[in-house]
Amino acid sequence: MNLSDSLAAHFHQVWFGGNWTDSCAKQLLTDVNWQEATAKIPSFNSIVSLVYHMNYFVVAATQVLQGGRLDAHDKFSFDHPAITSEKEWIEFLEKVWQDAELFASLVSKIPEAQLWETFADEKYGTYYRNIQGIIEHTHYHLGQIALVKKMVRAATA
């Protein structure tokens, strides 16, 4: 397995399972309903905000991997659409899963030498740094989602 395949697998596992931490987005979110996803705990982001935020950077990096330009701004990374029903929540998650699958597929196709080239602009470092950063970012926010999920459920119990 080359490094691109390894990164793609690691990314896929943080979203869909099978990683060393035994924690993944799909498993963590599978039993969350739209009311829980949108519930606001003071001083914390909602689950939907955190999922949108994680996916925002996946989508931005996907654009670069598809030959486009990087168009992402931290200030917009929590600006998710309103979720007002279970149908909207499920549709939102389906898009997130599709985006993650596409990103993993694109990462696996990166020639290994390209991983050490500049990603979009010198200030962002290499492709490797950005892909690994997205994986780390996802793990970080999965922990937050797990805690918010427990707090939301405790508040409604």
**What is the predicted pLDDT for the residue at 55?**
97
Kindly state the percentage of the chain with pLDDT values over 90: 91
The domain that holds 151 is classified in CATH as: 1.20.120.450
CA distance 9 to 16: 10
The model's pLDDT over 98-128, given as tens digits with 9 standing for 90+, comes to 999 999 999 999 999 999 999 999 999 999 9
- Give the CB-side neighbour count of residue 116, counting CA atoms within 13 A: 3
The model's pLDDT over 54-78, given as tens digits with 9 standing for 90+, comes to 999 999 999 999 999 999 988 899 9
Domain count, the chain: 1
Query: Range of 71's domain?
Result: 3-156
At 118, give phi and psi (nearest 5°): -65, 135
CA distance 136 to 54: 10
